[in-house]
Chain A
Amino acid sequence: MAKLKRERSRETNIPSGSMSDIAFLLLLFFMVSTVFVQEKQFWVERDRWPIAESIERIPRNHTTTIYVMRDETILIDDVPTRIDSAEDTFVFSTLVRKREDDPEIVVCFRTDRDTMYGVMSDVMRQLQDANTLVVAFETQQRRD
């Protein structure tokens, strides 16, 4: 009678020595790329931005962001303001100062898509007066 050979169970090992290296690399990546976004009282959610197709990436350096809410409140440097008359020149004075600090400044608008254009026009007039001429209207990418 043939003798049945009993299969020896081999011990399989998954090398896990480099696991912590991988973990720390991933950790470093997330730590470096994380931007803590604090939800503010005045805020324009991304899904309220207009949708466009021909958009371009705007390098983060040299940018400053102006939020324009549907109720025509303008937020610049975390300070809410409004432009109700010609005397309301907070946007102008802030941008003059910012342009002195960085002559290549790009002003990014995060505006609610249902905002009346009049307030945008007023803000852009003050940008022109402050000689900050490069602007970017932040939009969502159209995905069809």
Chain B
Amino acid sequence: MKIGRKRKGKAEIPTSSMSDIAFLLIIFFMATTKFDVKEGIRIVLPQAAAEDTQQAQTLTLTEKEMTRMQITADGMIVVNNEAPRTFESAELDALIQQKLKVNTEMIFKVITDRQAKYNDMIRVVDRLKAAKIEKISLSTN
């Protein structure tokens, strides 16, 4: 008896629409993607004051060592004991450079009023950071 040999059918997976599917998925991801990059002004806060008062030190700094920049509730800035006034960014840059001429290791203390806007504090800290100043102290009154 003759046994018939089965013909092997060629099995193929249709892949022609694969790129269409891929492009549809790409469009979906392109439309929904939000690049959440973290960028900002980095500051290292000082350690909390020790409760043990014997460990706490009191330092008295002169104007040659530290510049006080007090931000008032209405956004004006009091530099050391001068009269409050508004500062444009360029004026702030000039002031910082002037203080750095006196002392390149100058400490800048930014005292922000509790009622002042956060944006006003950031504006001052931004100019200090732009001048490559690392010794920045943040406080409030």
Contact = CB atoms under 8 A, between A and B. Distances in A.
Nearest to A142: B126
Contacts, number: 152
B122 A116 contact: no
A124 B119 contact: no
Nearest to A19: B19
Interface string B13-42: 001001100110110011011111111111
A37 to B, nearest CB: 5
Tell me which of A63, A111, A134, A139 has the highest count of chain B C-beta atoms within 10 A of its own C-beta. Answer: A139
A108 to B, nearest CB: 6
| Main DSSP-derived SS at the A contact region | mixed
A106 B45 CA distance: 11
Contacts of A136: 38, 40-43
**Size band of the B side of the interface?**
35 or more
B140 A63 contact: no
B125 interface: yes
Nearest to B16: A20
Interface residues of A, number: 53
A54 B126 contact: yes
A117 B40 contact: no
A39 B98 CA distance: 45
13 contacts: A20-B19, A34-B33, A37-B34, A52-B41, A52-B122, A52-B129, A54-B127, A57-B37, A112-B118, A117-B120, A133-B46, A135-B43, A141-B39
Interface of A: 16, 19-20, 23-24, 26-27, 30-31, 33-37, 50, 52-60, 63, 68, 106, 108-109, 111-118, 120-121, 124-125, 127-129, 131, 133-139, 141
